[in-house]
Amino acid sequence: MKKGQFFRSMPGIGLAAALLIALPFVAALGGQAWVRILDFAILYVFLALGLNIVVGLAGLLDLGYIAFYAVGAYTWALLASPHFGLHWPIWAILPLGAGLACFAGVLLGSPTLKLRGDYLAIVTLGFGEIVRIFLNNLNAPINVTNGPQGITLIDPVSFGAFKFSGATQILGVSLSGPQKYYFLLVALAILVIIINVRLQNSRVGRAWQAIREDEIAAKAIGINTRNLKLLAFAMGASFGGVAGGIFSAMQGFVSPESFSLIESIMILAMVVLGGMGHIPGVILGAVLLTVLPEVLRYGVGPLQMAVFGKMLVDPESLRMLIFGLALVLVMRFKPAGLWPSPERQRELQETGK
């Protein structure tokens, strides 16, 4: 899964592609649940990369990122479910969800972007909670979101007659629902990665990095910091919106409890743990933090049995304990993340800052 220099070369890309294509079939040997976990891992890669634009590139600490995800998810849920009796097609909803999320990003960003660091963090955190609480309560006086009951029977992704739920035969290969979503998500993720890479090396991306490093200096050399920060917010938010739409379709059910603060924190943890501003690092962080709790869930119990011969500690408590410890330890020994960008690593070594 590594994508270092080697993968810039043709055989490298070929190998990576082969791995990506084979992965869901390999995972399916362990059960469709693992394919589903993979799906979520990629969904989180998607989200983490979106947040990476805001936090990693532009250096804006956003603790309410999940709000945009929620906007996308509810856009899909409302426009493709029996709730309003609407069943719009994907090419209409997904861009609309992204657009609405983008609008929400601008709405949040425009009054708050002059705030610095931790003040911005708490305001975005508040915004995330505000969105969730509104979703939870907009069932009266007019029932828009159906409140805490959530929305059920949401349409799966479909292109014409080709539905993404349930198994189908393609070219003699049987593909399950989660496997189809896997390929859709991988395609979208690759798109996001390309956009991220292009952005990072573009004029805009460099301007963001300048703002991240020193806002005053950036302003002094003529960068329109306000507009560029807004752009970062809007771009990050649109990715969140798209991810939300897919989540909605994949789950078939959304309710406000899926969009709590802890989700925002988890996505931020993925970005920071992997290596802020470094795309392969962020991907690694997202995959690790999605898969690790699952591995622990099924690994801790049997492991205890094997080592001690009996259950000493309730595996469920131990799972989260180990997860928390892992966060602490990784940050302790790799403060710039597991796979930081080379420049960042150099900085750390040189200045100790």
Q: Which of 56, 95, 52, 50 is nearest to 192 (CA)?
A: 50
Beta carbon of residue 135, minimum distance to another protein (angstroms, whole number): 11
| Long-range CB contacts (within 8 A, 24+) of 76-82 | 76/154, 76/244, 76/245, 76/246, 76/248, 76/249, 77/151, 77/154, 77/248, 77/254, 78/144, 78/145, 78/151, 80/154, 80/155, 80/248, 80/249, 81/151, 81/152, 81/153, 81/154, 81/155, 82/153
Residue spans of alpha helices (H) in 30-80: 32-51, 66-79
Select from 5-13, 22-30, 184-192, 193-201 the region that touches another protein (CB under 8 A). Answer: 22-30
Beta carbon of residue 196, minimum distance to another protein (angstroms, whole number): 19
Footprint of another protein on residues 71-110 (CB under 8 A)?
A: none
Footprint of another protein on residues 247-306 (CB under 8 A)?
A: 251-255, 257-258, 261, 265, 268-269, 272-273, 276, 291, 294-295, 297-299, 301-303, 305-306
Should residue 123 be labelled a site residue for another protein when binding is judged by CB under 8 A? yes
Q: How many whole angstroms separate alpha carbon 51 and alpha carbon 239?
A: 8
Should residue 342 be labelled a site residue for another protein when binding is judged by CB under 8 A? no
Residue linked to tokens 């890479």: 197
Q: How many residues bind another protein (CB under 8 A)?
A: 96
The answer for residues whose C-beta is within 8 angstroms of residue 61's C-beta and 6 or more apart is 55, 117, 118, 120, 121, 124
The single residue among 30, 92, 191, 198 that binds another protein, judged by CB under 8 A, is 30
Should residue 14 be labelled a site residue for another protein when binding is judged by CB under 8 A? no
Select from 65-73, 92-100, 123-131, 191-199 the region that touches another protein (CB under 8 A). Answer: 123-131
Amino acid at 24: P
Should residue 137 be labelled a site residue for another protein when binding is judged by CB under 8 A? yes
Should residue 229 be labelled a site residue for another protein when binding is judged by CB under 8 A? no
Should residue 50 be labelled a site residue for another protein when binding is judged by CB under 8 A? no
The DSSP code for 158 is E
Nearer to another protein, 63 or 101 (CB): 63
Beta carbon of residue 57, minimum distance to another protein (angstroms, whole number): 13
The single residue among 72, 178, 205, 241 that binds another protein, judged by CB under 8 A, is 178
Distances (CA, A) of 268 to 3, 60, 62, 229, 264: 22, 11, 8, 18, 6
The single residue among 2, 118, 197, 311 that binds another protein, judged by CB under 8 A, is 118
Nearer to another protein, 121 or 228 (CB): 121
Select from 5-13, 125-133, 187-195, 201-209 the region that touches another protein (CB under 8 A). Answer: 125-133
Distances (CA, A) of 325 to 24, 274, 318: 30, 16, 10
Q: Which residue(s) pair with 173 in the sheet?
A: 170
Select from 70-78, 97-105, 184-192, 327-335 the region that touches another protein (CB under 8 A). Answer: 327-335
- Kindly report the number of other CB atoms within 10 A of residue 310's CB atom: 7
Select from 3-11, 84-92, 237-245, 310-318 the region that touches another protein (CB under 8 A). Answer: 310-318
Should residue 331 be labelled a site residue for another protein when binding is judged by CB under 8 A? yes
Should residue 174 be labelled a site residue for another protein when binding is judged by CB under 8 A? no
Q: Residues for the chain: how many in total? A: 353
Nearer to another protein, 191 or 303 (CB): 303
Q: How many whole angstroms separate alpha carbon 274 and alpha carbon 297?
A: 22
